[in-house]
Structures are given as C-alpha cells and as structure tokens.
Amino acid sequence: MKQLLITFLSLFFFITIFCQEKTNSTAKPLVPPKAFTSEHQMELQGNSISYQVIAGETYLKNSEGEPAASIWSTTYLLKGVQESARRPVVFIFNGGPGSASVWLHMGLFGPQLVQVDSEASEDDGGAPYPLVSNEGCLLDLADLVFIDPVGTGFSQVIGKGKTEDYWGLNEDASSIAQFIRLWITEHKRWNAPKFIAGESFGTTRAAAVAEALEGGGQNVALNGLILISQALDYTGSTPVHDNLVAYITYLPTMAATAWYHKKAGQGKTLEAFVQECREFAYDEYSSALFRGALLSENQKNIIAEKLAYFTGLDKTYILRSDLRVLAPRFRKELLRNEGKVVGGLDSRYLIEEPDQVAERPTLGDAASSSISSAYTAALNHYFAASLKVNMDRPYKTSNGSVGRSWNWRPVSKNAYWEPSYVNVSRRLSNALRRNKDLHVMVANGYYDLITPFFDAEYTFSRHGIDQSRISMKYYEAGHMMYVHEEDLKALNRDMRAFLKERL
C-alpha cells in the first residue's frame, strides 16, 4: 500500500508539473497597455493653438473583469482649456466592418491630412505623399478621439478574449460603447457635450452605439451624430437581382455619374438633372418595376427611353436588362466603348481594364486603388515621425478577416431570426425620440455608387425619424467626398456649423 501511495503521488506531481510547464509555455502574459504622449502646435482659424496627443491602448474587460480586448485610440486634447470637464468631444470611426479610422483621421478630421489628386484624374502613385495642415480641423471646438475597433489598426483581442465577442453588429456596438464610457470616465467628461462621427458602416455602428450607450446602467446621451455616406438600411444600398428598391435608389447617382462624364444631362446643372431623375424615380420608374411583366411593350419602351436619357446607356441594353440595370454593370457599361470603368466609391475615378467584355468591373475599385497607398503610408509615417508611436505589430488599415467572420444578427444567438437586410434605422429613430437634444447631420456624395444619396433620402423619410432634427448635405464627390478639395472645405464648414449649433 505504501508503495502504491508513493507511485500515485509521484504521478500526481509529474502531471501537475507537466501541466504547469505546458501552461507557462503557451500563455501570453498581459503587459500594461501602451500609450504614447506628445505635444504639438498648429495654426487654426487664425489662432495658434497647443494640443496634446495620446495614442495608445485601452483594455476592455469581460464579464469576469478580465482584460479581453485592446482598443487603440488616438486622442487630441486642446491645451489651456478653462473648464475641461465641459469640453465637447467627438468620437470618430470608419466602417468596413474591418476598417481602421485611417480614412477620417488622415482625410478629414486630423490636424494633418494626406493630399491626393482632388480632381480624381491621377493615381496616388508611389511615395512620398504630401502631408498638409488641416485648416478646417475642429480641434478648436471639440477634442477628437479616433477609435479603431477590435481587429483593425493596433486593436486586438487579448487574454481570454475571442473575436466572436467583438466581430458582430451588436457585439461591436457594445465594445465601442464600453470604450466611450471608459474614456469619458478617465477624462472626466460625463457632463460634456458628446458627438459621434462615422463613415459608411461606421454610420451603422453610430446608430447602434447611440442605442447601446442608453443602456447598461450607465446612460450616455449624445448631442449629435455626423453620418458620412450613411448606411442605416441596407435595402437601398444592396444592388442585387430582385431587390427592386436598389434599382430606384441607385438611379439618381447613375444620372449624376453620366452627367459628370458628359454622357447625359448636358446643358443642365447637376442639381437640376438629379432632381429631374428623382421625380422620374418616384413617379414612373418605381411603378414600372412593380408592374414588371404586366407592362405593355409600349410602356417598356417609354421607360427604357427615359432610363437611357438619364443614364447615358443604350436603350437596347436597357431593354435586354429588363429595365433593371445593376450598379456594378452600370460602372462597366457607361464607358465601355472607351475601355474604361468608373469607380464605385467615387464614380469620378476611372480605370482601364484588360477584360473588355466582362459584365462587371474586374480590377477592384478605381477610387480605392487610387488613394489607399497614400493613406496607409501617411498614417504610418505620421504615427512614427510626429506621434512617436512604436508598436510591435503592424497597423492594419483594413482587415478582411473581420468582414468574413462578421455576425450580422441583430438579435441574440438564442433568439429566432431569419436573414434580412441590415437595418438600424429604427434604433436611430428611437434614440431621437428618447433624447430631445440629439441631432443628425448626413453628408452625401453625388458620385457615391456604394451608399447612394437617394438611399439616404429614402431611409430618413421613413422609420418614424423626426425630420426636424436631420440635416442633409450634398457634395460633388463620392463616398469619401473629402478627397475633393472644395468638398473638404465645404464639409468642414458644415460640420463646424453643426457643432456650434449644438454647443
């Protein structure tokens, strides 16, 4: 018996030591979150201002109080503020899902911006790329916080965290709301005006975050949302077969694009031609789509002629398309005879493709490929040279794994749900009803073939949204209208006025 006990204890200690060694060899001990602080000055609105930048990590904790994710943010704080506790703050993020805040950081809101061709006639080419001072920066009105959601930028899961806890419509909103609460607690801004600015899916996130901030036992009421290239109801921004709504919502942008490339509407202003197309879409085209095969041949010909008039496409092609021209096909067809394809993010951009008979673009997006290298290089250079950021991993301006793994369910995994178009419009509508001071500015690009401006109008005219607190703005560029210099100035003026009205 004694020998058996010795053998058992020996085996027990062997297993214990083996397990400890295995655990110690695979576990990644958590280190304190990194932060890089720097001091800067700039000329803004005729004055010299001083500001501090804090670029670093914030650890989010799970329900057990353990760090599970690291959120990277870049915070700009104006110095010399008398009542810092009431200093307004704007939280800023891009979309994707899977995009870091690089685009709004280096294209619109940051104190330094990367400069690309304003007229969309040249590719960004190779480095070096010019960085210029942002004369319209809002830092004199509010502090700025750029947020990179988990999986983008330097943000990542840590400890016992799992990507599925963050890569989803509701999960993402919850994590950003948690970060915002942590930030306003650390910087003592609970009683300060708060705004959110989002772009593309970032507007989807903004509406969801606005709702998430109202719960959790720590209610945070926002003062305003700036939605750039909104995407609240995906019905109107999903150009696929059998989705009749999208044929309608994309049509005015097709008309604007044809006007820009001198294929339609010549002799008229852009606004007048677009308005003419709006009326046709409402009064005639929507009815024709619902009638479908019940249309007579004469009625089909009348609609086809008007579609050709607005889009610049051949009437025969439109009839072969059964009066339904998908946006990707339009991008390929408009300038097919010239061997060129218009961009989706911004239809001012063009690219020549080797496959001249394909029905859709084959080389990606002309607009994206024309600016992405400049934005990526500029952000990394700015972090290293100006903010002295030194991290042990690459900054991911985009991460395709996030989108491929995204959970779009608007309900919990235990609730019944059938797949449908993403729609957070009601969340925004409800937030507006619960918060009398919440106002929304919507920035639309006439040449945006990803989230068309007519879809924004369609979305905000429904869902019980209070029209009196919505401000619609339009710009003669695309999804990222700020790449166009005149629109950058106009957008900055509009955002500045929007903030001043709320302060």
User: 279 and 198, same structural domain?
Assistant: no
DSSP 323-381: T---HHHHHHHTTGGGTEEE-SS-TT-EEE-S-SS-SS-SS--HHHHHHHHHHHHHHHH
**Tokens 């969801």 identify what position?**
208
Whether 14 is in a domain gets the answer no
Q: How far, in Å, CA of 151 to CA of 325, rounded? A: 36
Whether 28 is in a domain gets the answer no
User: 294 and 176, same structural domain?
Assistant: no
Strand partners, 52: 39, 77
Output the CA–CA distances (angstroms, integers) from residue 452 to 230, 289, 299, 458, 474, in the order listed: 9, 19, 27, 10, 11
Residues in the chain: 503
Residue 153 per-residue DSSP state:
B
Residue 310 per-residue DSSP state:
H
- The token pair at 206 is 């903004």
- DSSP-based three-state secondary structure for 258: helix
User: Alpha helices of 386-415 — where are they, by DSSP H?
Assistant: 400-404
User: 398 and 278, same structural domain?
Assistant: no
* Pairing assessment for the beta strands 470-475 and 439-445 based on DSSP bridges: parallel
Q: How far, in Å, CA of 117 to CA of 462, rounded? A: 37
Whether 30 is in a domain gets the answer no
- The token pair at 75 is 């915070």
CATH number at residue 49: 3.40.50.1820
Whether 488 is in a domain gets the answer yes
Domain end point (choices 322, 348, 368): 368
Whether 421 is in a domain gets the answer yes
User: 350 and 490, same structural domain?
Assistant: no
What backbone torsions phi and psi does residue 145 show, to the nearest 5 degrees?
-130, 110
- Of 67, 307, 299, 54, the closest CA to residue 183 belongs to 54
Q: Report yes or no: 205 and 173 within 8 Å, Cβ to Cβ.
A: yes
User: 364 and 375, same structural domain?
Assistant: no
The domain in which residue 251 lies consists of 240-368
User: 383 and 498, same structural domain?
Assistant: yes
User: 360 and 423, same structural domain?
Assistant: no
Residue 317 per-residue DSSP state:
H
What backbone torsions phi and psi does residue 154 show, to the nearest 5 degrees?
-95, 0
Domain end point (choices 368, 396, 421): 368
Q: Report yes or no: 289 and 245 within 8 Å, Cβ to Cβ.
A: no
Whether 2 is in a domain gets the answer no
**Greatest C-alpha distance within the chain:** 104
Domain end point (choices 341, 368, 395): 368
Q: Report yes or no: 340 and 321 within 8 Å, Cβ to Cβ.
A: no
User: 197 and 255, same structural domain?
Assistant: no
User: 166 and 40, same structural domain?
Assistant: yes
Q: How far, in Å, CA of 347 to CA of 17, rounded? A: 64
- The token pair at 329 is 């096909």
Q: How far, in Å, CA of 222 to CA of 218, rounded? A: 13
- Of 178, 174, 176, 169, the closest CA to residue 201 belongs to 169
* Pairing assessment for the beta strands 156-157 and 67-78 based on DSSP bridges: antiparallel
One digit per residue, pLDDT tens: the chain, 503 residues?
444 444 444 444 444 444 444 444 344 668 899 999 999 999 998 899 999 999 999 999 998 999 999 999 999 999 999 888 999 999 999 999 999 999 999 999 999 999 999 998 888 889 999 999 999 999 999 999 999 999 999 999 999 999 999 999 999 999 999 999 999 999 999 999 999 999 999 999 999 999 999 987 889 999 999 999 999 999 999 999 999 999 999 999 999 999 999 999 999 999 999 999 999 999 999 999 999 999 999 999 999 999 999 999 999 999 999 999 999 999 999 999 999 999 999 999 998 888 888 888 877 888 888 899 999 999 999 999 999 999 999 999 999 999 999 999 998 888 988 889 999 999 999 999 999 999 999 999 999 999 999 999 999 999 999 999 999 999 999 999 999 999 999 999 999 999 999 99
Domain count, the chain: 2
User: 210 and 100, same structural domain?
Assistant: yes
- The token pair at 362 is 């084959």
Amino acid (one-letter) located at 56: G
What backbone torsions phi and psi does residue 9 show, to the nearest 5 degrees?
-65, -40
Whether 115 is in a domain gets the answer yes
User: 419 and 289, same structural domain?
Assistant: no
User: 485 and 337, same structural domain?
Assistant: no
Whether 463 is in a domain gets the answer yes
Q: Report yes or no: 343 and 365 within 8 Å, Cβ to Cβ.
A: yes
Q: What is the pLDDT of residue 28?
A: 61
